[in-house]
């Protein structure tokens, strides 16, 4: 965003007066003390038509949000990891219905949690092995420890559990630990948000022969010109790194990750394909433009058009709500399906929100979000730092504010 010139909104079918509603909305959230700061950028027909910052990137140090502020994007890492694995798919390295046990033998012959009482887990054999498509669509039967919904989640949270964020083990060891634990559903039968994309990151490593973080940076991030996107913030960029906050009981902000002491200031042993990256608005808009261009950006093609079309198609039997009422997601469930790494809008009326069938999106744990709308040739990026992402309905509010500004 700091390197993209702003075009007149009217030249790309947007109303400057109606976009001003977004600016007032941002100011309202920040002035309320509920959000530290916000950045919103809207691109249409390849042109940046709206880019505004509001509030503080670091409240304690009185640092304002800047166009080049660096944010923890958490699960907005997932579409990039999905891009990496699909590049290897295009090279003929695997098929979507291949069992991942071909590459990670620890995932063969898994067991599925069926319930239990008095500390005893009832398990049944998996009807089949997890496939690549199961991982890409979050229908693998894997879970997240943060769900706190069943005994398997508790095993993930245990001291020797499944930790892709702060572990000092190897990526291989963490993935194989996950493989040793029961699944919470039969593969392919239910949509459950999970460590699936972290496992995909390890599969990138196994298939390519390169460390996962090296493959993602060298084969995806650098070719797309995403100059500030990485798994850590180097010393020369520390002053641009935002603080991360949680919502205190009184509705105020509670500092939970000081940018001067953050674990993101240095490389880590395990790099999370599901949530490990930091990035900027400008960088993520480049990724959105690459996707809207069907796999190409400024002469660099990483994916074929047909692959992008497959990735952004719904692969579920209906919407996410039809696949078992997920316990948590970075999206709502009704009217929303899931592709290979993205949520996919199926029915705006059922979702009860402005939108377009075929738009694809995702968000991150610190309330960040993006979506791409091929029919409108439009992308929106929202960056802030407040956990958890379910605290306030800012994503849905921004969707309305963005779409109401279309006037052509």
pLDDT in tens, 62-96: 999 999 999 999 999 999 999 999 999 999 999 99
Q: What is the pLDDT of the chain when averaged over all its residues? A: 96
For position 120, what pLDDT does the model report?
86
Q: Residue 327 above 80 pLDDT?
A: no
Q: Residue 4 above 70 pLDDT?
A: no
Report, as an integer, the average pLDDT of 218-223: 98
Confidence of residue 254 (pLDDT cuts 50, 70, 90): very high
Burial class (CB in 10 A: 0-12, 13-18, 19+), 17: exposed
The answer to whether 385 touches 59, Cβ cutoff 8 Å, is no
Helices 281-292 and 78-90: crossing angle, nearest 10°? Answer: 40
User: The tokens of 237 are what?
Assistant: 């960029």
Report, as an integer, the average pLDDT of 226-231: 98
pLDDT above 70 covers a percentage of the chain that reads 98
Scored b (16 or more CB within 10 A) or e, 293-321 reads bbbbbeeeebbeeebbebbbebbbeebbb
Q: Residue 148 above 90 pLDDT?
A: no
Identify the helix (H) or strand (E) that includes residue 40: strand 37-44
For position 125, what pLDDT does the model report?
98
Q: What strand order describes the sheet that includes 343-345? A: 63-64, 47-58, 37-44, 378-383, 369-373, 360-363, 343-345, 336-338
Task: Report the distance separating Cα 233 and Cα 38, nearest Å.
Answer: 20
Is 90 strand, coil or helix? helix
Residue with tokens 């042109």: 47
Task: Report the distance separating Cα 258 and Cα 243, nearest Å.
Answer: 5
For position 328, what pLDDT does the model report?
83
Q: Under CATH, what is the fold of the domain 84-212?
A: Beta-lactamase (3.40.710)
pTM, entire model: 0.97
Report, as an integer, the average pLDDT of 48-64: 98
Report, as an integer, the average pLDDT of 240-254: 94
Is 269 strand, coil or helix? coil
Helices 196-208 and 78-90: crossing angle, nearest 10°? Answer: 40
- Asked, as a colleague might, if the bond just before 169 is cis with ω within 30 of 0, I would say no
Query: Shortest CA distance to 80 belongs to which of 285, 309, 345, 341?
Result: 341
**DSSP letter string over 297-344?**
ETTEE-S-HHHHHHHTS--SSS-GGGGT--S--SS--TTEEE-SSSEE
Confidence of residue 106 (pLDDT cuts 50, 70, 90): very high
Confidence of residue 329 (pLDDT cuts 50, 70, 90): confident
- Interval 366-377: pLDDT, tens: 999 999 999 999
Report, as an integer, the average pLDDT of 245-252: 91
Task: Report the distance separating Cα 369 and Cα 189, nearest Å.
Answer: 27
For position 5, what pLDDT does the model report?
82
Identify the helix (H) or strand (E) that includes residue 16: helix 16-31
Q: Residue 325 above 80 pLDDT?
A: no
* Phi/psi-derived region of residue 304, left when phi > 0, alpha when psi is between -120 and 50, beta in every other case: beta
Report, as an integer, the average pLDDT of 102-115: 97
294 φ/ψ angles, rounded to the nearest 5 degrees: 60, 45
Is 285 strand, coil or helix? helix
Q: Residues of CATH 3.40.710.10 domain(s) within the chain?
A: 9-79+225-403, 84-212
> Cβ atoms within 10 A of the Cβ of 19, count?
19
User: The tokens of 58 are what?
Assistant: 């670091």
Is 17 strand, coil or helix? helix
Q: Does domain 9-79+225-403 have CATH number 3.40.710.10?
A: yes
Q: Residue 394 above 90 pLDDT?
A: yes
Identify the helix (H) or strand (E) that includes residue 37: strand 37-44
User: The tokens of 340 are what?
Assistant: 């290979």
Report, as an integer, the average pLDDT of 345-374: 98
Task: Report the distance separating Cα 175 and Cα 393, nearest Å.
Answer: 33
Intra-chain end-to-end CA distance of the chain, in Å: 24
């Amino acid at each position: 965003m700091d390197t993209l010139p702003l075009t007149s909104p009217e030249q790309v079918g947007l109303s400057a007066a109606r976009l001003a509603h977004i600016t007032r909305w941002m100011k309202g959230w920040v002035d309320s003390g509920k959000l530290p700061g916000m950045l919103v950028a809207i691109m249409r027909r390849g042109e940046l038509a709206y880019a505004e910052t509001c509030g503080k990137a670091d409240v304690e140090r009185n640092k304002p949000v800047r166009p080049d502020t660096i944010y923890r994007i958490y699960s907005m890492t997932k579409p990039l990891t999905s891009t990496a694995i699909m590049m290897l798919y295009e090279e003929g390295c695997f098929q979507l219905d291949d069992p991942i046990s071909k590459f990670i033998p620890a995932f063969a012959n898994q067991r599925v949690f069926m319930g239990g009482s008095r500390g005893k887990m009832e398990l049944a054999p998996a009807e089949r092995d997890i496939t690549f498509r199961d991982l890409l669509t979050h229908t693998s039967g894997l879970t997240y420890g943060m769900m706190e919904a069943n005994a398997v989640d508790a095993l993930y949270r245990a001291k020797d559990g499944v930790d892709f964020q702060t572990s000092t083990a190897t990526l291989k060891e963490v993935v194989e630990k996950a493989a040793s634990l029961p699944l919470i559903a039969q593969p392919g039968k239910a949509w459950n948000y999970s460590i699936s994309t972290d496992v995909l990151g390890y599969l990138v490593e196994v298939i390519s022969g390169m460390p996962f973080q090296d493959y993602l940076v060298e084969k995806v991030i650098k070719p797309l010109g995403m100059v500030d996107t990485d798994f850590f913030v180097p010393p020369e960029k520390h002053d641009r790194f935002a603080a991360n906050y949680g919502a205190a009981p009184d509705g105020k902000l509670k500092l939970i990750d000081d940018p001067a002491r953050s674990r993101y200031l240095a490389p880590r042993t395990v790099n999370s394909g599901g949530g490990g990256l930091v990035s900027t608005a400008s960088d993520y808009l480049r990724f959105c433009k690459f996707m809207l261009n069907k796999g190409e950006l400024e002469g660099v093609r990483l994916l074929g058009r047909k692959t992008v079309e497959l990735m952004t198609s719904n692969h579920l039997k209906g919407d996410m709500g039809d696949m078992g009422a997920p316990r948590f997601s970075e999206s709502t469930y009704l009217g929303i399906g899931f592709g290979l790494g993205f949520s996919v809008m199926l029915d705006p009326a059922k979702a009860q929100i402005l939108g377009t069938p075929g738009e694809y999106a995702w968000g991150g744990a610190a309330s960040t979000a993006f979506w791409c709308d091929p029919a409108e040739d439009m992308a929106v990026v929202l960056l802030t730092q407040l956990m958890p992402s379910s605290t306030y309905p800012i994503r849905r509010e921004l969707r309305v504010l963005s779409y109401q500004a279309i006037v052509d």
